[in-house]
Chains A and B, each alone.
Chain A
Amino acid sequence: MTFHKSLRFLLAASSLCAAASASTIFNFDGDSLGTSTKFTDTVNGLSATFSSDADPGGFVVYTSIFQTLTGNVLGDPGPAGASNLALTVGFSQNLSALTLNFATDDFGSPSPFTLAAYENATLVGSTTSAGNFLSGFTFPEGEIAFAGNAFNRVVISSTATDFAVDNINVITAAPEPAEFGLIGTALLAVGVPALRRRSKRS
């Protein structure tokens, strides 16, 4: 019986580790239309806080007018009426990768769209992309991805007057070595006595 409990613990610990690196999607579909920055969404225990320099009301949640951005999206101008803004997203845990869909307010050439990742105040890296005009839709849309060392904040910007984002898909970073040590210690603390008891019985 004790052994089975320990086994269950091991399985649970394993599941927790797997969950810690699972992907989580923020798509604003659970937010009310008109929700504006600054606000926080929480999915699978991971919180993302959306903000801008024009808050309150720099960016707003509204219904998509795009193809790859679906349902609700987050874009500017919000109730504050400001354009040419950067969107900052802060996460409650470290991430190892992030992708998102975006659209830019362009009628001519699609403007560059940049995602910069930070670990607290330290720049981890950045990437720039540009959307494409899709048949039947007015504004260029694209996807941008970043992966690298752990980061907990991204700053999203474009030279376009306005932009919108959706489907922010993030993967939390694997536990640090110190965290692995703690997990191992816990497993030993529970597992070894159980094995000893089993050994004595036999």
Chain B
Amino acid sequence: MYNSIPFVYPAIRKAAVVAMLSVSAALAQTGPSIFPLLPPTVSTVPSNGDVNPYGVAFVPKTAPTSGVLQPGDILVSNFNSAQNLQGTGTTIVRVDKSGKVSTFFTSPAPAIGLTAALGMLSNGFVLVGNLPTADGTAATAQPGRLAVLDNYGRFLGTFGTLSTVNGPWGMAVYDVGNGVTGTAKVFLSNVLSGEISRFDISYNSQGLSASVIVLATGFSHRPDPAALELGPSGLAYDQIHDVLYVASSADNAIYQVANARAAQGTVSATLLVQDLLHLHGPLDVAILPDGHILVADSDGSNADPNQPSELVEFTAVGEFVGQMPVDPNNGGAFGLAVNNFGWGTFRLAAVDDNANTLSIWTAVIP
């Protein structure tokens, strides 16, 4: 009944093809060349050798072009250092429109172990969380922080205290800014406390300020020798229905938090789907143009060697639609992000943690 997104050689509907070709042809009359095209897969390993890519975020189309970041660029945060110790990576890499990879930001110690809590504001500011360890084990895990960078990769400051930033693990941003000023709701999952925080941010050319609430509590969380930590992870916000989706790696479930934008205090999360057949340590989640949700299975729990590193598609009411592996072995699917181009066309970026790569697809909702 439900169509799955077309990952491989999509049967793009004729009308959409006609439209895209027409627009492309028209723009080509006065615009720049389409070449070089973004390659489908790029390495996320920067010059310092960091590995284990976690967070993925698209630079919004409103971002000013005066900085290093350009609209449409993709950022990827690295969780491990070159020694492959969890919680010791320091870099955010930038993938530009042609697929060229460069180091955008290097975090100084002790702010190491950059996580999937990675997002952007309309003016090009970057928000990134970290969860540091001393030796790559859960025993030495620390709460970390939520840092703000400008679009040149310069550190501007941090938000939150231990009550609202305690192992930042995933992020969703709802931003109504215009590229210069704006307000944003930044949702942050905390894997060490099992809580979701919401930062209400105002920003302009002079700076930014925030207030914060604990939006939801009680998510299952625990340390894990392989995954380091399991708990509330990736977040995705549906602005039409004011619903926040929470990928819960500890219990292989997706929760939803209603009234997430408007709530003035802590509210209850409800279970959307707990699917032990298709969910294997879900670490990140994104929303497709048609409202379906896309989940990255980390295999950090409930691993199934026959279903390794799956990206799994569900309807908005939690019905399974389809899945596709990003790696032939377990443990490859971590961060992902969707960039909506309008009229059902979107770009999907997802990391392969085993190969330390980022794959990029452009597709149309069938």
Q: Is A76 an interface residue (CB 8 A)?
A: yes
Cα distance A77–B346 in the bound complex, in angstroms: 13
Cα distance A139–B341 in the bound complex, in angstroms: 15
Q: Is A162 an interface residue (CB 8 A)?
A: yes
B15 contacts A65, CB within 8 Å? yes
Q: Is A60 an interface residue (CB 8 A)?
A: yes
A63 contacts B19, CB within 8 Å? yes
Chain A residues contacting B342 (CB-CB under 8 Å) are 76-77, 83, 105, 161-162
A34 contacts B19, CB within 8 Å? no
Q: Is B135 an interface residue (CB 8 A)?
A: no
Q: Which of A63, A65, A80, A161 contacts B340 (CB 8 A)?
A: A161
A67-118 residues at the B interface, CB under 8 angstroms: 75-77, 79-83, 105, 107-108
A34 contacts B30, CB within 8 Å? yes
Contact of A108 with B23 at beta-carbon distance under 8 Å, contacts A34-B30, A81-B71 already known? no
Interface size class of B (residues with CB under 8 A): 20 to 34
Chain A residues contacting B97 (CB-CB under 8 Å) are none
Q: Which of B61, B71, B290 contacts A107 (CB 8 A)?
A: B290
Q: Is A33 an interface residue (CB 8 A)?
A: yes
Cα distance A80–B72 in the bound complex, in angstroms: 12
Q: Which of B22, B29, B240, B341 contacts A62 (CB 8 A)?
A: B22
In the complex, how many angstroms separate the beta carbon of A79 from the nearest chain B beta carbon? 6
Contact with A along B285-296 (1 / 0, CB 8 A): 000011100000
Q: Is A32 an interface residue (CB 8 A)?
A: yes
Q: Is B16 an interface residue (CB 8 A)?
A: yes
B20-69 residues at the A interface, CB under 8 angstroms: 22-23, 25-27, 29-31, 61-62
A34 contacts B71, CB within 8 Å? no
Q: Is B343 an interface residue (CB 8 A)?
A: yes
Q: Is A61 an interface residue (CB 8 A)?
A: yes
23 contacts between A and B (CB under 8 A): A33-B22, A33-B23, A34-B23, A35-B26, A60-B23, A62-B19, A62-B22, A62-B23, A63-B23, A65-B16, A75-B343, A80-B61, A81-B71, A107-B290, A107-B344, A108-B290, A108-B291, A137-B15, A138-B13, A138-B15, A138-B16, A139-B343, A162-B342
Cα distance A34–B61 in the bound complex, in angstroms: 19
A12-49 residues at the B interface, CB under 8 angstroms: 32-35
Q: Which of A60, A107, A139 contacts B291 (CB 8 A)?
A: A107
A33 contacts B26, CB within 8 Å? yes
Chain B residues contacting A82 (CB-CB under 8 Å) are 61-62
Q: Is B365 an interface residue (CB 8 A)?
A: yes
B290 contacts A32, CB within 8 Å? no
Chain B residues contacting A62 (CB-CB under 8 Å) are 19, 22-23, 26
Chain B residues contacting A107 (CB-CB under 8 Å) are 289-291, 344, 365
Contact of A81 with B15 at beta-carbon distance under 8 Å, contacts A34-B23, A139-B343 already known? no
Q: Which of A35, A65, A81, A161 contacts B18 (CB 8 A)?
A: A65
Interface size class of A (residues with CB under 8 A): 20 to 34
Cα distance A167–B341 in the bound complex, in angstroms: 25
Chain A residues contacting B18 (CB-CB under 8 Å) are 63, 65
Cα distance A116–B291 in the bound complex, in angstroms: 29
A32 contacts B71, CB within 8 Å? no
Q: Which 3 A-B pairs have the closest CB atoms?
A: A34-B26, A33-B26, A107-B290
Chain A: which residue is nearest B341 at the CB level? A77
Cα distance A80–B365 in the bound complex, in angstroms: 22
Cα distance A79–B72 in the bound complex, in angstroms: 13
Chain A residues contacting B23 (CB-CB under 8 Å) are 33-34, 60, 62-63
In the complex, how many angstroms separate the beta carbon of B22 from the nearest chain A beta carbon? 4
A32 contacts B291, CB within 8 Å? no
Contact of A63 with B29 at beta-carbon distance under 8 Å, contacts A77-B342, A161-B340 already known? no
B25 contacts A33, CB within 8 Å? yes
B343 contacts A32, CB within 8 Å? no
Q: Which of A33, A34, A65, A79 contacts B343 (CB 8 A)?
A: A65
Chain A: which residue is nearest B316 at the CB level? A108
In the complex, how many angstroms separate the beta carbon of B4 from the nearest chain A beta carbon? 14
In the complex, how many angstroms separate the beta carbon of A71 from the nearest chain B beta carbon? 11
Cα distance A155–B15 in the bound complex, in angstroms: 28
In the complex, how many angstroms separate the beta carbon of A162 from the nearest chain B beta carbon? 4
Kindly list 16 other residue pairs between chains A and B, CB separation below 8 angstroms, not including A75-B343, A107-B291. Answer: A34-B23, A34-B25, A34-B26, A62-B19, A65-B16, A77-B341, A79-B31, A81-B61, A81-B71, A105-B343, A107-B290, A107-B365, A138-B16, A138-B344, A139-B343, A161-B342
Cα distance A180–B184 in the bound complex, in angstroms: 56
In the complex, how many angstroms separate the beta carbon of A2 from the nearest chain B beta carbon? 56
In the complex, how many angstroms separate the beta carbon of A166 from the nearest chain B beta carbon? 13
Chain A: which residue is nearest B179 at the CB level? A82
